[in-house]
A and B are shown apart, each in its own frame.
Chain A
């Protein structure tokens, strides 16, 4: 350190990096420059430090290993979505509801609900917002009661007509059967035939509403050798 060079070597070394980083005031920086030119130790030191910084800065920034980001996202994104989003929660709920027992329970409950709606005469498709007002409930109930009463009356009259027809038929039947002689076994039989096999025969004799079913069953159960023989 001279009057021309106010910098000493230890101080130069301490300040070298800050000097290279441009952090020193101009006076100190000028003193550093002067010392570097005149000192045989500090000049090369500064040179080497500068070279080192350049070599460090020249180190290549390597590319991320392939799949790095995918791996990170695979381990993270799901957690955050679960914590904040509704989607996965609903999915989980759906998975629980899809279990057979619960699904069956829900189906039964829905069936009961629709049955109730049906009985009370509420039609969801024709439901108006006004219908939900409590003031309208007596009106709906009374309308439903009237409709049910009318149906009941109609059903009763229908029954009466059927009964009268049946009674008339029985009377005719009795008149036609009065002529032939009765065997003792036959007379011991009850008036109604409860034997299922003979009932089937009766159906075959007098084709009624159930006869079609019997015929269809008969067609399905008959051997199909003919048609098979034709195709094979």
Chain B
């Protein structure tokens, strides 16, 4: 089966839909209003308004927890890290400069630093599998199961496989892919969070996705081939 027949059988929807979703089509006016509102929220919080801080916690905790969970692949570690991140954000809030970028970028950068510190600390404690290690056992079953599992089981297994593949990525590629494909940051925002040039962001996202695609391809082919 060559690319032409794939394209004929299942035209790639990404060329229209995906591009439109990710092409920065979010209304600029809405973003500006959001920024102004966030600036006011931070000001109120710094002025001692407990409700403003509660609002920040309520708004941003799920996103930061999600980031920690996908980066570590461990719910307990993610909870500790996300809580630690919120405490640090609280203490450092006075140093946040709205002129430097959105609150969410700043919060994510702070959380990301914690994640990297955590990764470095735990690297020596547990065996980390290199991406190039051919002996590393992949938790992804390459062989499609003979018995047709129901849709729920199949989906859950796919999620587990994706999460396992994410954790196997090097932290540099992992954080770039998570921020792009899970947190929906654009390239510029990722460059701001990671303090790296946009060109490096491009290459890390691409390399990360290609690594993941190699591991996930058998399962994905299976899913394309008519699984529920």
Q: Which of B4, B163, B221 is A59 in contact with, Cβ under 8 Å?
A: B163
Q: Which of A18, A20, A38, A62 is B65 in contact with, Cβ under 8 Å?
A: A62
Task: Tell me, yes or no, whether B31 is within 8 Å of chain A by CB.
Answer: no
Contact bitstring B41-64, A, C-beta under 8 A = 1, else 0: 000011110100110011001100
Complex contacts, B142 vs chain A, CB 8 Å: none
Q: Which of B12-20, B112-120, B124-132 contacts A (4 or more CB under 8 A)?
A: B12-20
**Bound CA–CA A16/B218 (angstroms):** 20
22 A-B pairs in the complex with CB atoms less than 8 angstroms apart: A14-B203, A16-B206, A22-B20, A36-B12, A37-B4, A39-B3, A40-B2, A43-B6, A49-B213, A50-B12, A52-B213, A53-B18, A55-B158, A56-B181, A59-B163, A61-B66, A64-B61, A65-B79, A68-B61, A76-B57, A80-B48, A80-B50
Q: Which of A7-50 contact B (CB under 8 A)?
A: 13-14, 16-18, 20-23, 29, 33, 36-40, 42-50
Chain A interface, >50% SS class: helix
Task: Tell me, yes or no, whether B136 is within 8 Å of chain A by CB.
Answer: no
- Would you list the 5 A-B pairs with minimal beta carbon distance, nearest first? A43-B3, A22-B19, A84-B48, A51-B220, A17-B206
- How many residues on B have C-beta within 8 angstroms of the other chain's C-beta atoms? 61
Q: How far is the CB of A74 from chain B (nearest CB, A)?
A: 10
Q: Which of B3, B50, B65, B221 is A64 in contact with, Cβ under 8 Å?
A: B65
Q: Which of A20, A52, A60, A83 has the most CB of B within 10 A?
A: A52
Q: A52-B216, A62-B75, A76-B86 are in contact. List 17 more A-B contacts (CB 8 A).
A: A20-B18, A20-B19, A37-B3, A38-B4, A43-B3, A52-B209, A56-B162, A58-B155, A59-B70, A62-B65, A62-B69, A73-B53, A76-B87, A76-B90, A80-B48, A83-B48, A84-B47
The answer to whether B181 touches A77 (Cβ under 8 A) is no
Q: Which of A13, A23, A39, A57 is B187 in contact with, Cβ under 8 Å?
A: A23
Contact bitstring B184-197, A, C-beta under 8 A = 1, else 0: 00010000000000
Q: How far is the CB of B200 from chain A (nearest CB, A)?
A: 13
**Bound CA–CA A57/B158 (angstroms):** 12
Q: Which of A20, A59, A71 is B14 in contact with, Cβ under 8 Å?
A: A20
**Bound CA–CA A107/B180 (angstroms):** 68
**Bound CA–CA A188/B125 (angstroms):** 108
The answer to whether A80 touches B213 (Cβ under 8 A) is no
Task: Tell me, yes or no, whether A72 is within 8 Å of chain B by CB.
Answer: yes
**Bound CA–CA A55/B86 (angstroms):** 29
Residue of A nearest to B18 (CB): A20
**Bound CA–CA A33/B12 (angstroms):** 10
The verdict on A40 contacting B3 (CB below 8 Å), with A21-B22, A22-B23, A81-B48 known, is yes
**Bound CA–CA A60/B69 (angstroms):** 11
A interface residues, Cβ below 8 angstroms from B? 13-14, 16-18, 20-23, 29, 33, 36-40, 42-53, 55-65, 68-69, 71-73, 75-77, 79-81, 83-85
Residue of A nearest to B23 (CB): A22
The verdict on A53 contacting B181 (CB below 8 Å), with A48-B220, A68-B83 known, is yes
Complex contacts, B86 vs chain A, CB 8 Å: 72, 76
Complex contacts, B61 vs chain A, CB 8 Å: 64, 68-69, 72
The answer to whether A43 touches B66 (Cβ under 8 A) is no
The answer to whether A59 touches B162 (Cβ under 8 A) is yes
Task: Tell me, yes or no, whether B29 is within 8 Å of chain A by CB.
Answer: no
Complex contacts, B74 vs chain A, CB 8 Å: none
Task: Tell me, yes or no, whether B82 is within 8 Å of chain A by CB.
Answer: yes
Q: How far is the CB of A72 from chain B (nearest CB, A)?
A: 5
Residue of B nearest to A22 (CB): B19
Q: How far is the CB of A32 from chain B (nearest CB, A)?
A: 9
Q: Which of B45, B79, B83 is A80 in contact with, Cβ under 8 Å?
A: B45
The answer to whether B18 touches A45 (Cβ under 8 A) is no
Complex contacts, B182 vs chain A, CB 8 Å: 56-57, 59
